[in-house]
A and B are shown apart, each in its own frame.
Chain A
């Protein structure tokens, strides 16, 4: 069964600190992995998208890693800001029925406190 698991479920950090969110997946056949940021009551916004051949991808203070062998990904946030408070969703794309279906993780809810 295709699954995407994220940890931790929630996280509280102080402004300016770094944090790392984890994503493990059992998805086959794998197409790509992306991280989305979702503010409460809003649509997800893409942070990074990586294919199996990419190990690291950065977008400003966000750096995603992918280990296709162990089927693990992480999202590292550097020098957190209050505006980073949101849910971070790991999404793996699987080839299914002739198209790329997105398998969503449950997300990590990050709260950045002053």
Chain B
């Protein structure tokens, strides 16, 4: 099983709402990632978790709060977002963070619209 699943597929939220994006993998991977992708742009790294600990935060605003409850799950908590945060949010996982030949497997993404 080389699948990364993400829920929900689509999310529309107001600027005062609190919502969460979920990501799950059962490949035994110990590194998990959140990316943000705007239309016709490449993905931009947001966070990296390694062995359930946050190891990289690419200067992401605090209105995005990641959480890794266990090695298979990754959440992204959203609060007080802005319309410019509307994007495709991608989750990915890899065997670990540091292997040279590691492969990152991406989920299908959550299409977020902030109104």
Contacts and interface: CB of A to CB of B under 8 A. Distances in A.
Interface of A: 31-32, 34, 36, 41-46, 49, 51, 89, 93, 97-102, 104-107, 109
A99 B109 contact: no
A10 to B, nearest CB: 10
B22 interface: no
Interface residues of B, number: 28
User: What secondary structure prevails in chain A residues at the interface with B?
Assistant: strand
Nearest to A97: B56
A46 B105 contact: yes
B103 A46 contact: yes
B106 A41 contact: no
Contacts of B92: 43
A49 B104 CA distance: 10
Contacts of A46: 103-105
